[in-house]
Amino acid sequence: MTRMWPPGGTRRPLAPRVAAPREPVDPAWIGRRVVRCRAKGMDAGAVAAALEVARFDARQASRHEGLADDACGPAELAEWERIDQLLAAAPAGTVYAPDVDTVVQAELAIDAAAAAARGAELCEAMRIAARADELQALRELGTLEQTEPRRRRSRR
């Protein structure tokens, strides 16, 4: 014999669950990240050579109408230029390391703060949804007379 819960076999609809929102894809961020990974461990000469290749690729892409809206290519070129300037100002023999790049570290801190804020918002939304489920269950059991907030009477 199968027992149904709740007694009487009626199921109450649950409050809608809050799905974690998807982060939009940022092609420029991806382009910068790819450059940083490739540049890791490169010296000024290797970065200068990679910058020339990136400039050539940018010229080639500018000739194709389909690549006109691509944000990844210009971001990659700008990042190669930034890393080239960074190593040009550094002592001879310095290699690029994203771990000590202040721009990269600042971006990571901003991303971490944004992720923490999104996590807090999601946690609060889940708490509210769970509380709505509890209130609905209490109402169905007859132990709660009202689930909607009372309207305030205006004082005159």
Residue 92 half-sphere exposure toward CB, CA atoms < 13 A = 0
| Tens digit of pLDDT at every position of the chain (156 positions) | 555 555 555 565 665 665 656 777 888 899 999 999 999 999 999 999 999 999 998 888 888 777 667 788 899 999 999 999 999 999 999 999 999 999 999 999 998 999 999 999 999 999 999 998 888 888 888 787 665 666 766 665
* Surface-to-core class of residue 72, CB atoms within 10 Å of its CB (0-12 exposed, 13-18 middle, 19+ buried): middle
Tokens at 97, concatenated: 């390391």
**Whole-model pTM?**
0.64
Q: Check: CB of residue 61 under 8 Å from CB of residue 70.
A: yes
Residue spans per domain, the chain: 26-97, 101-148
